[in-house]
Amino acid sequence: MSGPVYRPGVDGAVRPQPGTPLVPGATLTDTGTAFVVAAPNAASVAVCLFDGSKERRFALTRVGHVWAGHVDGVRAGTEYGYRALGPWNPAGGMYFNPAKLLLDPYGRAVTRTPELTPALYAHTVTNQLEPATTPWEQSHLDSAPVQARSVVLPDQPAHTAHPFTPWARTVVYEAHVKGMTRLAPWLPEELRGTYAGMAHPDTIRYLKDLGVTAVELLPIHAKMSEPHLASKELTNYWGYSTLGYFAPEPSLATVAAQEAGPAAVVAEVKQMVDAYHRAGLEVILDVVYNHTAEGGPEGPTLSWRGLDASAYYMRDPGNPGHFVDTTGTGNTLDFRRQDVVRMALDSMRYWVRVMGVDGFRFDLAVTLARKGDRFDTNHPFYVAAATDPILEHVKLFNEPWDVGPNGWQTGNFPEPTADWNDRFRDSVRAFWVSDRGAIAAGGAGGDMRDLATRLAGSADMFGHGHYPGGRGPNASVNLVTVHDGFTLRDLVSYNFKHNEANGEEGRDGTANNRSWNHGVEGDAGPDGTSLPGNVAVQRKQTIRNLLGTLLLSAGTPLLLAGDEIGHTQHGNNNAYCQDNALTWTNWDLAPWQKELRATVRYLIGLRREHRVLRPAHFYTFMSEDTDALPDLTWYAENGERMPEYRWFDRANRLLQMLRSGHSDDVDALLVLNGAPTRVVTSLPQGRGVPFRLVWDSTWQVPRGRNRVYRAGATTSMAPFSMRLYLAG
């Protein structure tokens, strides 16, 4: 045993102030601070106040299932935590241990990352952090010296104006604070990898120039890396291991802010959000309300487990010492519990009201709507979010799956939320990438049915609901790549994942990538230096096909940061633990990367300028009273309407999609050729007006002067290419 041993005792007892509401967390008053924490099965709870290493403890008063008390003289900046006394019965799911200092689940800031040592565990462990005895024995090591502390801070509402960008105009850019800015040449060294670096005028100017409207940040809640990563000297770089749902991660702040203290870290985040708003950009947070950094029962005791595991975590009814794990992390927060639902909602309200953010992307969102094995479309959490006066106007995105029973629910979440559309991802990858690989090997690709459905907004998944048209096409967050998986460049450069650096012997990361390396694995040719010219050309065209399909389809496009410049992770499709040059965006661009960025900027600009490319409603395939042209018509290569039987023909790899601009925009004709040969194509008659070619995926860069074709004209499509024409 090493480290100080816990010494019991309190310095006094406190009660809540009469006539004041019991608000969870630490709330500043005129004379001190009110502390409230939920711990239903605890026998006693003390709030612990710190002045350096000096600790004072005050026993709180039970009021129903919470513990509360007001401590006079406690002001902003005070560091604190809790200690809870109760049953020690790991087999029964009870882990109370007053030797463990516990973070406030509602703490507005944390002082640091906890040190992963035996003292952090409620049960005795070896130096390898494995249980030292069977059955588990209670550890008497005091965790205060190695634990982080919560900090009392005022809730000062953000003075910032939300852009409230309409869904139909939204283009999302998924980025990591450090990953985007760590190597940014436009930033001074002290701002690289920080919130302030994200807020720098040149960073914002880059995003505005690209044309995106919202930045979706990978988790910036306070985090702690898992023990298995620490043992390999790796970290949870992505941040999906939450330590606190109200506190920002301090390591992403500038050194100056970290040295100035937690209040300065919070201020840096608020300043970042305000800078984006002043530029007209929204800030979406990726949030992990489905699990915590405490892991399974054998993990460290940081907060929720020590306060009352049964009140926060989903457990096996027949074996309460066993956590139900629908997240793949060892624990699952139980959204059947009122305290869990309230904590998540209160966290969201805080980040909107105080920090100023514009929405949330829910990691493993099925867990948030679980009632055990059952997914509840009308779960109280979603009903509350949709009707809350603070939350009802912000954007809510679902990652619509988890790893538990009935865990795939894309399209089944309620309004007004949107879902990441994995069906779009898989269909587009198959058509342009894996099918192309199969064809090159002498096989065949799939038919056009599913691709057409995705191009048109996925009405099969998002068209149902209480209202005509269901949730609408913008509820489909279309994606081809995100942080989890290959980058776009790697998708066309690798047949297999290369995750050796993760130290998991290739077991991590999906094997279902639908990728193709175009004949050479990786970025080096057979001689270890340059790629064969044809391989490089084909890869770049495939990337343009993927980006064009993403940005010109109906739905809300989501672009992975770095894909617009061909960022590579060298085949690592699960780089969650790689905080290094592998994941940091390299802004030293080759000419082709600059050309690719110009293409993305151009395509986003076309989408922004033309409403026909971003419909707010599903297509009816009929014409309006004032318009002779149907809102959407599918055509074959001969310019005639697609015959039904051709949809089932796997040899048919060409599709024409004509969308009506009605009376307020031009018409748009999207032509896709997924065949390995050039295909002679007749354009449809449409309204009889000429079609102007505005983009061709064979172009390395967009062209200023484009060819015009008469209605019904014959042209030819290059192999594996797509075009956009505008008419009117």
Residues labelled as active-site residues:
363, 399
DSSP 288-338: -TT--TT-STTS--SSHHHHHHHHHB-EETTEEEEEP-SSSSS--B-TTSH
- Which residues, including other chains, have CB under 8 Å from residue 591's CB and lie 6 or more apart? none
Find out whether 554 and 457 touch, Cβ atoms under 8 Å: yes
Nearest to 660 by CA among 603, 594, 610: 610
Residue with tokens 């064979």, as numbered in its chain: 698
CA atoms of 635 and 26, how far apart (whole Å): 63
Find out whether 315 and 322 touch, Cβ atoms under 8 Å: yes
Burial class (CB in 10 A: 0-12, 13-18, 19+), 378: exposed
Nearest to 400 by CA among 391, 392, 411: 411
Question: Residue 673 CA to chain centroid, in angstroms?
Answer: 32
CA atoms of 335 and 344, how far apart (whole Å): 9
Q: Is the dihedral of CA 569, 571, 576, 580 positive or negative?
A: negative
- Which residues, including other chains, have CB under 8 Å from residue 166's CB and lie 6 or more apart? none
Strands (DSSP E) found in 129-228: 150-151, 172-175, 214-217, 221-223
Question: Across-strand partners of 55?
Answer: 50
Phi-psi region of 220 (alpha: psi -120 to 50; beta: other; left: phi over 0): alpha
Find out whether 224 and 270 touch, Cβ atoms under 8 Å: no
3-class DSSP assignment, residue 167 = helix
Burial class (CB in 10 A: 0-12, 13-18, 19+), 482: buried
Find out whether 610 and 551 touch, Cβ atoms under 8 Å: no
CA atoms of 679 and 661, how far apart (whole Å): 27
Q: Omega into 557 within 30° of 0, i.e. cis?
A: no
Strand 79-85 with 150-151, pairing: antiparallel
DSSP helix, strand, coil percent of the chain (3-state; round to 5) = 25, 20, 50
DSSP 649-712: -TT--EEEEEE--TTTS-EEEEEEE-SSS-EEEEPP-TTS--EEEEEETT-SS--SS--EE-TT
What are 119's two structure tokens?
């003292």
Residue with tokens 């509602």, as numbered in its chain: 106
CA atoms of 635 and 654, how far apart (whole Å): 9
Question: Across-strand partners of 35?
Answer: 26, 69
Pseudo-torsion of CA 541, 542, 546, 547, nearest 10°? -30
- Which residues, including other chains, have CB under 8 Å from residue 398's CB and lie 6 or more apart? 361, 362, 365, 413, 417, 418, 419, 420
